[in-house]
Chains A and B, each alone.
Chain A
Amino acid sequence: MKVRVSVYLALALVMTIVFPWMRQLSFGDYLPDAWLLLLLLAVPTPMPHSVRKPIILALCFAILRSSVALCSPIASCASLLAALMVRESLTRLLSDSLFVYRFSSAVLSAVPMALIDMSVASQHHIQLSYTTCAWRVLLTGLIVAVVKRRSSNSMFGGTS
């Protein structure tokens, strides 16, 4: 079934409203970034020839993320686009048929966001520990690897 971009945007908007509260829960610091997770799940692997829709989705998610976070829209945009780029490069090298491959490529695609978040934190003298970032990256990888079981093309009218 084809899931339209607007559905993902609506989902992202709801998540934007709820997620800052979730981040403040006792385990909230370790939760993976919701917008990154949604983007990795929404955009199929490998990406379609026209990357317009994934880029629009990433830009919209970046604006939503920056609305409820200190990170600037540019930092959020860089994080999300870099994640897509890293995953696309890895997907072309590795098959996503095995859990370990899916996990590895998702983990590596979450690393740019972790690095940019740490850079933003250090610019503003906010403490963001390596452990927290590592948990976020690993959980992102785990969730993407579990949920995204095989090559899909859900957003752009693929088979499923």
Chain B
Amino acid sequence: MFFLLPGAERNRKKLLTVLAVLSLCVQSCFPLSFVDDAVHAVLGPVMQPITRLAGGWSSLFQKLPRVDEIAGTYNSPLISAERRFGHPADVPGVAWLEVPVLDIDEGSGQMKLAAGRNFHLSTGQIVAFADNYLGRISEVEDDIAYVDLFNRAGQRTGIKLSASANTTRAVCFGRGLSGRAIVDWIEDEKAVAVQATLWWRPRPLDVVHLANAGLKLGMAVSEGSAARGDDMFVVAHEIPASAEGRVYVAASAIGDSIVAEPIVHHHRAQRIMLGDAVFGNRLVAVASGADFTPAVLSDHSRVCGQVLTWRGNWGWAHLQQPSAWVDKSVALYDGGVRLHNAGEDQVVYTRGGAGIPRGMLLGDSDAQRFVPSANLDVWLAPQSKGVVPR
């Protein structure tokens, strides 16, 4: 027994081993991205050739499409439709600036736009989508602007109520998270009726002709009980699904351009292996020389799936069928754009958010997961943060 370590020393080594393994397990289950990035930076050059080798072997037994066409510029039908549906009525002396939306927090009533002072936006400008009045720009930075939606707590907006032949003026008072905006300070209360249309009313310093743009806040609905004395009119309103992509800002003076395009990075990619040794054929390994961490993988403009992890110049993407994108996809229909609901048979597009560009084609909602070809594309919309769920 002379060669054995003393008990204390053995126990110390055992404890250290257990702690090391436990910390590895913790890192696996609750990963710190910088640790994984460092490991991938060191081991990536070793791992990628092995992946390519395994991919080469697998492809001998897989029927894989090998399309070598070069994808052209992708013009999204969704974006075209949003532009067609969303542009408010033209009025003299006003230009509508098209600005991409970064994110919308309907609860707190604020919207963030991907353009600011550099796009000649300024505070007080009104923001609309089609005939929907959304709010006013409250704060402007160089490349970002914040919009206070009319339902933001404390936000007061002049409105005009019209039901049948009666019209009266009132003020809409936003309540934020407490509930829908209240219709208050009604000039002629007798003129108010449930389902009355609430039209936006310009302030004295707004361009006069904006009153003719036909912008509305929504419909008046009754809330509370007259018996308890807490009845009131509130605004029934929902931000159109199309407005999650772009909105229109009224401007009486404009810069060089009236369209602020969202930033979208794009790069070619190659499939290096279809299938994963743990999770099966739901994953694909791709390589790309992109100088950004991509968010989504597409095959000639059609989305294959989200990129799950990126290891320097290659990574893994999750192949998903279009129906798996419920809540993250939108569909075109006759009257505009709406969120895609499960079970509906439609052509669906990406909704945006989490770095995924808006308006990329996902395909028919009932289509199966498809096998990507050898030449692919990776995409990132760095500004795209998405919409806070309701």
Contacts and interface: CB of A to CB of B under 8 A. Distances in A.
B362 to A, nearest CB: 16
Interface stretch (B53-61, B104-112, B161-169, B375-383): B53-61
Interface string A120-131: 110111111000
A16 B54 contact: yes
A64 interface: yes
Interface string B16-39: 011011001101110100011001
Given A16-B50, A78-B27, A124-B318, A71 B278 contact: yes
Contact of A17 (B5, B53, B278): B53
A65 interface: yes
Contacts of B274: 24
A20 B318 contact: no
A81 B24 contact: yes
A68 B318 contact: no
Interface centre among B18, B61, B279 (most CB of A within 10 A): B279
B28 to A, nearest CB: 4
A119 interface: yes
Contacts of A49: 4-5
Nearest to B36: A72
Given A16-B50, A17-B53, A81-B21, A23 B275 contact: yes
Interface residues of A, number: 46
Contacts of B58: 20-21, 24
Contacts of A127: 282
Nearest to B53: A17
B138 interface: no
B281 interface: yes
Main SS of chain A's interface residues?
helix
Contacts of B308: 70, 124, 126
B46 interface: yes
Given A51-B17, A63-B43, A67-B54, A72 B279 contact: no
A82 B25 contact: yes
Interface in B261-319: 273-283, 285, 308-309, 316, 318
Contacts of B55: 20
A108 to B, nearest CB: 15
A68 B273 contact: yes
A69 B53 CA distance: 13
Given A63-B47, A116-B25, A70 B309 contact: yes
Contacts of B62: 21, 24
A21 B277 CA distance: 8
Contacts of B283: 70, 126
A85 interface: yes
B87 interface: no
B338 interface: no
Contact of A23 (B21, B27, B46, B276): B276
Contact of B318 (A79, A112, A116, A126): A126
B279 A121 contact: yes
Contact of B40 (A18, A72, A128): A72
A66 B43 CA distance: 10
Contacts of B279: 69-70, 121, 126, 128
B51 interface: yes
A157 interface: no
Contact of B277 (A20, A63, A74, A77): A20
Contact of A29 (B17, B50, B280): B280
B39 A73 contact: yes
A78 B54 contact: no
Interface string A70-104: 11111101110110010000000000000000000
Nearest to A63: B43
Interface centre among A74, A127, A128 (most CB of B within 10 A): A74
A17 B39 contact: no
Contacts of A66: 43, 47
A2 to B, nearest CB: 21
A20 B28 contact: no
Nearest to A28: B280
B278 A24 contact: no
Nearest to A22: B277
Contact of B47 (A19, A67, A85, A119): A67
Nearest to A120: B28
Interface centre among B25, B61, B277 (most CB of A within 10 A): B277
Contacts of A71: 28, 278
Identify the 7 closest CB pairs spanning chains A and B, nearest first.
Answer: A78-B24, A75-B28, A67-B50, A67-B47, A21-B58, A68-B277, A69-B278
9 contacts: A67-B47, A68-B285, A71-B28, A71-B278, A72-B309, A74-B31, A85-B21, A119-B28, A127-B282
